[in-house]
Amino acid sequence: MKKSLLLILPALGLVTSCVETLDDYNVDPKRPTAVPASSLVASAERSLTRTVVSPNVNLNIFRLISQYWAETTYFDESIYDLVTRNIPTGYWNAYYRDVLRDLKEAKSVINSDNALNAAVKKNQLASIEVLEVYAWANLVDAFGNIPYSQSLDFNTSQPKYDDAKTIYADLITRLDGAIGNFDASAEGLGSGDLLYGGDVSHFAKFANSLKLRLAMTIADDDPAKSRTMVQQAAGKVFTSNEDNAELAFLGANPNTNPLYEDLVQSGRNDFVGTSFFINRLQTLNDPRLGSYFKAKNGAYVGGVYGTSNNYASFSAPSEELEDPTLPGVLLSYAQVEFWLSEAAARGGYTVAGTAKSHYDAAVTASIQEWGGTTADATAYLAQPTVDVVPTSANYKQVIGEQTWIALYNQPVDSWREWRRYDYPQLAKPAGALTNIPKRFFYPIVEQNLNTTNYNAAASAIGGDNVDTKIFWDKF
């Protein structure tokens, strides 16, 4: 012990001689004053993925809106009560506070790093830009006009709302800039990128696939621009499920899939499949049925949407969805093929392949994504009810219904595509408080603390209610 103390005392003297003020002692090594950009990006990707795949009724009720699931004890969300739990606020905050704020700070850290290789810096900033565009587009798709140009600024506590279509145009410009800055010969975000591990070529595919998504989203609003964008992106998009933009969750908290947290860890039994969805899967002999739901006494039985259901009587979400490591998908190859099929069916688009070939590829990709085989997909597609050629007259129904089935575990995207295609033809339940939401209304805190700008935004879009359509929703 004496020897240890003798060794420590001179060391203390050396430390003291280097200290200029007592403040230097008051530093908590567990509370860093600077956060690495990689940590900020990882946090943002994690939050973004959790937001779009979560079944938490305080945040993401789109599996209910798309009528995949019915509720058991409490069914407020199934009748579109968005107020009791203040769901729009939860969804809004998840993007502004947990995703976009971190990404903005990550860009600032990277820009200020003068030692970073120029090509690597461009790749990192381009990757972040893609993530930002994805997040901003989801916010516009949910709310319409939103704070954008003056947002995320601590000095502007009451930001104005920008026009949704104008924001989309800027997002497309930003996305093009990011795509042009990718250099696959240089490194990217490295381990801070939870989607692709810093693989720049994959991130560039993600960017072009996102461009394809934006192009088809605005197809009814600006067909000429949509065609140009598709022509620019089509040959650079996802080509297999291996390209999917997805985050691999882990088997232990706090990094499990939020589906596991709400379906298993919570100990609650809040959801069962709807008869509307399960019956449709059964009618089509869909091989994904067993991957989507659990059998109940050897059969698949759906509950009644928009009311309470006895959990023990109906088919609950599947064991696959209860897996804590189930990847969370931001954008999939199946989606890419559906969009290419739609472009070919609409006519006037430059797309290699036919509407039918892309439709078949999309359905096959989805079945394989859920563990099915090529043979399963071939048999499914051979059925007259599925073996349909998308045309300019029927593509919304044909592609819309198969997209709805494929996006079972991508509920945010499912809600957007349902509004675009208007298929399947969903009906609101008898006890619904409103029509099926075409948008979320603005958070109550915006009404109270940003009143002038909120009122201007509500007036500009034709009313802050769930029936007001987003600019691209023309039919």
Q: What is the CATH number of the domain that holds 432?
A: 1.25.40.390
Dihedral (CA of 283, 289, 295, 298) sign: positive
pLDDT over 50 at 98, yes or no? yes
Residue 361 domain-assigned (yes or no): no
In this structure, are 287 and 218 located in the same domain?
no
Residues 186 and 278 in one domain: no
Domain co-membership, 214 together with 277:
no
Evaluate if residue 248 carries a pLDDT over 60.
yes
Residues contacting 194, CB < 8 A, separation 6+: 42, 45, 46, 49, 247, 248
pLDDT, position 31: 52
In a domain, 402, yes or no: no
Do 64 and 202 fall into the same domain? yes
- Domain count for the chain: 2
Identify whether the C-beta of residue 321 lies closer than 8 Å to the C-beta of residue 331: no
Which helix or strand (DSSP H or E) is residue 452 part of? helix 451-461
Cis amide prior to 258 (ω within 30 degrees): no
Q: Cα separation of 199 and 197, whole Å?
A: 6
Answer whether residue 193 is part of any domain: yes
CA angle 105, 108, 114 (to 5 degrees): 145
Q: What is the value of pTM for the model shown?
A: 0.93
At 9 the pLDDT is: 33
Judgement on whether residues 56 and 198 belong to the same structural domain of the protein: yes
- Half-sphere exposure in the Cβ direction for 462 (13 Å, CA): 9
Q: Is residue 182 part of a domain?
A: yes
pLDDT at 302 over 80: yes
Question: At CA 425, angle to CA 411 and CA 375, rounded to 5?
Answer: 65
Look at residue 20 and tell me whether its pLDDT is greater than 60: no
For position 35, what pLDDT does the model report? 85
126 and 208 in a single domain? The answer is: yes
Range of the domain at 298: 258-313
Q: Is residue 357 a part of any domain in this protein?
A: no
Boundary residue ending a domain (313, 336, 354): 313
When pLDDT is cut at 50, 70 and 90, the band that residue 17 belongs to is: very low
Give the span between the Cα atoms of 436 and 444, in whole angstroms. 20
- 405 phi and psi angles, rounded to 5 deg: -65, -45
* Average pLDDT value for residue range 263-267: 97
Pair (102, 167) in one structural domain: yes
Residues 89-101 have a mean pLDDT of: 98
Q: 243-277 as b/e, with b when 16 or more CB fall inside 10 Å?
A: bbbbbebeeeeeebbbbbbbbbeeeeebbbbbbbb
Q: What mean pLDDT, rounded, does the chain reach?
A: 94
- Does residue 195 form part of some domain? yes
